[in-house]
Chains A and B, each alone.
Chain A
């Protein structure tokens, strides 16, 4: 399974994906976060919330591209979901493959050895940012949004970030519930 996922995503990345320099992407995201911090008067809880919301909207749409390109069937287990998110999802959009750790049927963690969003980034030394700001919080939203589109309501959050001086950047995803297919009102 994991072998074929790798071949699939290698092929996707090589042949099917339009690419752009990651530095320019990093820079754009960085100046957005910086501006957001200034606008919201360094209220980092608020910044995190806005980043997550933005990510959620992005996630809703990224999943469309994922379907259009991969043709993968429904995941049978949450374990499998974790693999696909890391090996195909992250690979085809950010060209990194996070490690999947601590996986069981209800949760998994993604450890990002490389994080294209946070390259060359230093958090401001105001005594607060290191404790409160999750710089890459947009990813939390992306995961929530994207997984919601495949009927998985999840709770996602960062537990550590190298930018804060931690050893790893770890993003935890917990399954809340599997959503039922709902038929829109008036279309039975």
Chain B
């Protein structure tokens, strides 16, 4: 996003003038998923009385790296290989809620940023367009490819090459890639739900991989 199309607000402060590398945001968003799996694991461990990482560091004789559990091994993607962790409803819920949290805040920031007078968001369809264009552009460097609606509260947003998962491949073949990639989809679902909520629309959002890496997001709003 270049500075030229960013509305500089009248107060003359330097909001929205600074920039960082897109990769920082990319990797941050991507790491959210392993992070939430680790958090879920930590929480379930601590409820079972297993010493947590913070406490473990205090020990005089820390375990050797190879003995350490999946949780904190270097590289850190090992946790994604843990089938129980990725199918755990708690993890799914947590990933979704991280997305939701970020979504609600992003909506405020984006709208303030775009508020140059001709941004009108009142109808659900406008909100969907806002997500397809502005939000997606920001988070995944491209717009949604397709937006469909039945005009009674259901919307389908399609991204033919979803950036979060497009580079994924499992050594165990496509079915396995699909299985693990679908976990990541809960995150953008949360973001969409958060944005809709902060614009006054309650909805439930589901995503499915139609043909890898094409993803369709089904949004069911409670308005008709």
Beta-carbon contact of B20 and A22 below 8 Å: yes
Nearest-neighbour CB distance to chain A for B88, whole angstroms, equals: 15
Q: Mark B81-118, 1 if CB is under 8 A from A, else 0.
A: 00000000000001001100110011001100100000
Any chain A CB within 8 A of the CB of B25? Answer: yes
Any chain B CB within 8 A of the CB of A19? Answer: yes
Beta-carbon contact of B16 and A23 below 8 Å: yes
Collect the chain B residues with CB atoms within 8 Å of residue A123's CB. Answer: none
Q: Mark A53-65, 1 if CB is under 8 A from B, else 0.
A: 1101110111001
State which of B15, B20, B94, B110 has its C-beta within 8 Å of the C-beta of A19.
Answer: B20
Q: Mark B35-78, 1 if CB is under 8 A from A, else 0.
A: 10011001100000000111101000000000000001011110
Closest to B98 in A: A35
How many A-B residue pairs lie within 8 Å, measured between CB atoms? Answer: 134
Any chain A CB within 8 A of the CB of B31? Answer: yes
Q: Mark B6-44, 1 if CB is under 8 A from A, else 0.
A: 100000000110111111110111011011001100110
Q: Please, how many residues of chain B have a CB less than 8 angstroms from a CB on the other chain?
A: 46
Any chain B CB within 8 A of the CB of A130? Answer: no
Any chain A CB within 8 A of the CB of B141? Answer: yes
Binding-face segment, A44-52, A71-79, A168-176: A44-52
Known: A28-B29, A45-B54. A50 touches B38 (CB 8 A): yes
Bound complex: CA of A174 vs CA of B191, how far in Å?
A: 39
Any chain A CB within 8 A of the CB of B1? Answer: yes
Nearest-neighbour CB distance to chain B for A90, whole angstroms, equals: 10
Nearest-neighbour CB distance to chain A for B8, whole angstroms, equals: 12
Any chain B CB within 8 A of the CB of A154? Answer: no
Beta-carbon contact of A19 and B22 below 8 Å: yes
Beta-carbon contact of B75 and A93 below 8 Å: no
Any chain A CB within 8 A of the CB of B138? Answer: yes
Beta-carbon contact of A49 and B54 below 8 Å: yes
Q: Which of A92-150 contact B (CB under 8 A)?
A: 92-95, 116, 148
Beta-carbon contact of B138 and A53 below 8 Å: no
Known: A39-B39, A54-B34, A60-B75. A23 touches B101 (CB 8 A): no
**29 A–B contacts from the bound complex (CB under 8 Å):** A18-B22, A19-B1, A19-B2, A19-B21, A20-B25, A21-B6, A21-B138, A23-B18, A24-B106, A25-B20, A25-B24, A27-B102, A27-B106, A28-B102, A28-B106, A30-B105, A31-B101, A31-B102, A32-B28, A32-B35, A32-B101, A35-B101, A39-B43, A49-B53, A54-B34, A54-B35, A57-B75, A93-B23, A116-B18
Interface of A toward B, CB cutoff 8 Å: 17-25, 27-32, 34-36, 39-40, 43, 45-46, 48-50, 53-54, 56-58, 60-62, 65, 92-95, 116, 148
